Amino acid sequence: MSRSAIHDDHHATFEAVQQSAARIRAFLPAGAAPSIALVLGSGLGSYADALSDAKGIDYAEIGFPQSGVVGHAGRLVYGRAGQTSTQTGVEVLLMQGRVHTYEGHSLQTVVLPIRALVAAGCKTVVLTNAAGGVGEGLAAGDLVLIHDHLNLMGDSPLRGPNDERWGTRFPDMTEVYDAKLRATAQQVAKRLGIGLKTGVYAGLLGPQYETPSEVRMLRGLGADLVGMSTVPEAIVARHMGARVLGMSCVSNLAAGMSGQPLSHEEVTETANRVRSTFIKLLDGIMAALASSD
């Protein structure tokens, strides 16, 4: 049996999600009540090292599907982020990596971790990713705040019977990415002197990178970023009433824009290059969220 066949039984039924949520709560230290979930994309998993009072658990132990992609460690880490000399920081649950539909999973399997984290008490979900740059003026290494997305995956994580205990059958997507969270992120970036652009993220199925013609199509549709994750997670987080903040690290310029062939190695190399800046920005955002509680 293939890896994907083994792991695609992690279907996000209400019962499966509640079971994972219960395992998450059991894993937490006594008295812990994290309200923020943070998903780290390709090459960004080392942010877990910046947490204080950190404690980790493998995805398999909490019923999460596991990725076979380099840069996705497959661990959930609890800790405090944004800690300073005057602040204790904010409790977070941090996902080191995610699974993708291109690995053979259904979208319902892909979003099980987000549903479980929200069910476990996380009211804010921060989604990060490494993305291709499509929009004008973007360069490898840029950090971009997602203000909207295009779901071009050909499917929805909400397809199938709707469980009203999670949310309505037809959830509104006018503001998927919370305006107040985006304003906070921009204020923090400005204070820290970190460039933070904004853009629209297009989610595609993958795993192949886009052709130059597809990139021209995406630009015509208004996309600035393109990747193979984030969109289904954002959809279910909003379905369950959580607030969402999304950020991309531009890992490379999309096909036909740089004259260079695309590779996953370039993705991880760029993420490694901007890691310290990205961690500084995330810490600043977490500290701001802690002070606003």
Query: Active-site residue numbers?
Result: 42, 72, 100, 102-103, 130, 228-229, 252, 264
Helix (H, G, I), strand (E, B) or coil at 144: strand
How far is it, in rounded angstroms, from Cα 280 to Cα 71? 20
Q: How many CA atoms lie within 13 A of 65 on its CB side?
A: 32
Omega before residue 207 within 30° of 0, cis:
yes
H or E element at residue 197 = strand 196-204
Specify which residues 146 forms β-bridges with: 199, 246
How far is it, in rounded angstroms, from Cα 135 to Cα 223? 7
Rg (CA), the chain: 18
Q: Are 76 and 96 in contact (CB under 8 A)?
A: yes
Between vectors from CA 44 to CA 43 and to CA 46, what angle results, nearest 5°? 105
Query: Which residue, chain included where needed, has tokens 């894993």?
Result: 27
